[in-house]
Structure 1
């Protein structure tokens, strides 16, 4: 739902506003690439959240108790849920990628190069893995489908804000900027932006001073700055890897607690 909200708002309202506010060549291509990067990041978490509805439903019906009585280990059970959710997340992300590319080209942009397409697919894999682990930890606290539905609605509504997609991070208060920069999915958006916006930025900012480019990157969340530290893309990759490992472990520990399932 979050991705649909972003697309609808951009096409109906925000696209023209943001494009008109940029006095550079190819501003539409640039902003289309920016918003579609956010859509891909949001899809990775909203799709996995929806897929984990099966886990919550099984829990509410007591099916997981049956699993616990079987020889299946908890980490194996968790791995099965994560694997199925990962597959669904990848499929939905690929659909979003096809839509993004079609929209960008239909609006006057260009297809990603073969190299950049491979980069996007790699980022997509990492993004869906980390989102699956994060969402699994969150839903490990839910015992009813009603609570899960409420959480899904809240996530779908707020995800565009806490990833800096509805409003560019540079336009947010400093405290909120930090919230965005420490949220794992925001790092997925950053990585997608760096790849999708490479070609349009080369055209739009050809000959521009480096400080102008740096300011734009910070304003639009193409790079994150923590105080005086502006890390490279490797930092965001590490954040996503740590997120995947950490929240998978936390979810297993939570499920292993007495009387939790």
Structure 2
């Protein structure tokens, strides 16, 4: 399976266009923030000290989470190409088990998603330091890295489930466009969750990636929130966290980080087995 994973990675990174478009949604979000949304959000909190740095930390956490979705989606383009060119049939008649073939796709996608997220993390740290925000310490970086891995794995399984429904490159391209367009909304990045309709808020809170982003926001924003809310009542801080998706409440109960991690792990298992089931039935 290692050689199969290596083959998938080489195919993906050899296609520079695929690599670029896998990051296109992230570039769009960043562009919207820099030229439009950033000033709107900053102006919404005129009385908060260091609000620009606070919002920079907020958007960076979201970008890292979104990167693992779009990069994973791009990496699975290899699987769709194999399907459209009937290469995957050759794999299926080989002695390799179906689960290992699927595992090879998901591992290569996981590696791509994790790598791109780490690259985004490194670039974001340089930007935040330049903006005057303290760099994350070793403990915080370790926590961020672990959340990146869990979020990327969850996204790999979820995207695998999505692409298992398609066989043509055209259908996959359409799905990629839809995912890239909607991901900013269903993770509460284009707009804070409090500004979304109630029905959309429910989707955000149930979407696994949102929970990874929520934990990342807590890590990235902690130091700056201590500065910005030094003399602010606790109830206002809690309202800010809820309205910006730093934490989530479901049925008026706070979703703990432990629960968020459980959602990431559970979604990984569920989507993986659903995808394997679909692919197995298609083979028959």
TM-score computed with the length of structure 2 as normaliser: 0.89
4+ residue segments displaced more than 3 Å: none
1:115 correspondence with 2:139: yes
Q: Per chain length, whose mean CA-contact separation is higher, i.e. which structure has more relative contact order (CA < 8 Å, sep 6+)?
A: 1
Return the alpha-carbon distance in structure 2 between the equivalents of residues 61 and 78 of structure 1. 17
* Aligned match for 2:31, one of 1, 4, 8: 8
Q: Displacement of 1:258 after TM fit?
A: 4.1
Return the alpha-carbon distance in structure 2 between the equivalents of residues 84 and 172 of structure 1. 34
* Aligned match for 2:167, one of 139, 143, 149: 143
Return the alpha-carbon distance in structure 2 between the equivalents of residues 226 and 242 of structure 1. 18
Structure 1 residues 207-216 or 37-46, which shifts more?
A: 207-216
Return the alpha-carbon distance in structure 1 between the equivalents of residues 258 and 169 of structure 2. 38
Q: Displacement of 1:207 after TM fit?
A: 2.7
Alignment RMSD: 1.1
1:65 correspondence with 2:89: yes
Q: Unmatched 5+ residue regions in structure 1?
A: none
Q: Unmatched 5+ residue regions in structure 2?
A: 1-23
Return the alpha-carbon distance in structure 2 between the equivalents of residues 258 and 219 of structure 1. 43
Q: After TM superposition, list the pairs within 5 Å mapping 1:117-196 onto structure 2.
A: 117-196=141-220
Q: How many residues align?
A: 260
1:19 correspondence with 2:52: no
Return the alpha-carbon distance in structure 1 between the equivalents of residues 156 and 283 of structure 2. 24
Q: Displacement of 1:169 after TM fit?
A: 0.1
Q: Displacement of 1:20 after TM fit?
A: 2.3
Q: Displacement of 1:70 after TM fit?
A: 1.1
**Residues 50-97 of structure 1: CA deviation (Å, up to 9, x unaligned):** 000000000111111111111111100011111111111111111111
